Structure 1
Amino acid sequence: MRIPLYVALVVAIAVGGGGASVWFALNAIDGLDTLRVGVWTAYPDSGTPQVDPYGRARIARDGELPLGRAEGLYFLASRDSSGQGLRRRCRYRIEGGVPVARFWTLYAADRTGRAAPRPTGPADGLHSRQLLRRTDNSFEIAIGRAPAPGNWLAVKGTGEMVLVLTLYDTPVANGADARDIEMPAIYRTGCDA
């Protein structure tokens, strides 16, 4: 009776350990092709045959249709410029500019990358052709639940969020050096109770 119990214990440890290692590899490891610029992270190889095995598994698991290098590149930010996690109950200000791109979009998503629930009123995200800009072509975007003057990205709900900035038809996707890329800063301006 002890041998079947030991076999069952070994199988449980193997299956549990294997499952935990797969979860860790897919959720906690950024991947081999990660491009970091400040708080923004991109995966330039995700839409190419050169994607690493973990990236390929994440794409298959999430059912993503990643952009190829000729199409563009998306950047994710889960923290503000001070290193604190982004929360939907807080207000933020995005300030600066983005790399050269024919067109870009910005929206708030949950931790899995799905667009956050839409509040009534404005659209789910912003795009480059609808922004009010400064004379130096930089911009400022307010993010939060309450309407704000100027550029405003509405969010709803509570919990963590990720900002997704997608650059379409950009030279950054073709292997630019991270030191040469300018990305906007994200500042927390307050939180609701």
Structure 2
Amino acid sequence: MKAWQRYAIFMVLGLVGGTAFAVQQVRGGLSDGVVPNGPWETGKSFGTLDASALTRAKVALSGLLALPAKEAMYFTATRDSDGRKLDGRCSYDVRGGTLDGRWWSITLYEGEGWLVKNAANRWSIPASAVSTDAQGRWYFTVSPDAQSGSWLPTGSVDAFDLTLRLYHPAADIIKNPEKAQLPIIDRKGCA
């Protein structure tokens, strides 16, 4: 084999290997710099100038379309409050209280940022769709079956995640998202 052929083979192998590694890193989820808070996770650098090129690529790939942190913070849950993966064949109560921001919504996604197909055409619960008691507590149900009150359908998918968007969060939440009072996710039962 001639020298130029060896060089060509090694160049192709290097390009293929480097590309595979880069794709694996970007598709690896938003795990670098993640801050946990109960079943929720966020990143301190999402939507900031401090975000690395890898974080920006991951945010772009996930479809998060992150606004600057002072305008919105994003918390994602892939597990319930007991640490079990969120399963679309199960029902959950999502309960919370006053969130320290101007407005919030929780959206249900399947897999890589896709909305779940469902007959009810519901994908998100905004703050305005839940009733609160005198202490500011609220709840809604996530379930494959229709529910009364505020409800998000899972479409009976194998796995899903919830994304909490907190718009105009308080400075304390931006600085210490691990201390924010976020909703709990309780599994009620599975079909």
Relative to the length of structure 2, the TM-score reads 0.83
Count of matched residue positions in the alignment of Structure 1 and Structure 2: 191
Amino acid at match of 2:190: C
Aligned equivalent of 2:101: 101
Alignment check: 8 A CA contact 2:93 2:187 kept: yes
Give the secondary structure class of the aligned counterpart of 1:175. helix
Distance 1:24 1:16 in 2: 12
Q: Which residue of 1 aligns with 2:46?
A: 46
1:159, CA displacement in angstroms?
2.3
Change in CA separation of 1:44 and 1:24 when aligned onto 2, cut-off 3 Å: same
1:142: which partner in 2?
141
Change (3 A) 1:60 1:123: closer
- 2:59 corresponds to: 59
Q: SS state of the match for residue 81, structure 1?
A: coil
- The one-letter code of the counterpart of 1:170 is P
* Maintained 8 Å contact 1:99/1:172: no
Q: What 5-or-longer segments of structure 2 have no aligned partner?
A: none
Range 38-47 or range 61-70, more displaced:
61-70
Q: 1:65 to 1:96 in 2, by over 3 A?
A: closer
- Structure 1, unmatched stretches of 5+, are none
**In structure 1, distance between residues paired with 2:4 and 2:87:** 49
Distance 2:29 2:12 in 1: 24
Which residue matches 1:153? 152
Matched AA of 1:159: D
Match of 2:126 in 1: 127
User: How big is the shift at 1:31?
Assistant: 4.8
Contact 1:35/1:41 (<8 A) preserved: yes
How far apart are residue 163 of structure 1 and its match?
0.3
CA shift, 1:134, in A, is: 2.8
CA distance in 2, matches of 1:164, 1:147: 21
Q: Deviations over 1:51-73 (max 9, x none)?
A: 11211122344565311123111
1:112 equivalent in structure 2 = 112
Residue 29 and residue 150 in structure 1: after superposition, are their counterparts in 2 closer, same or farther (change >3 A)? Answer: closer
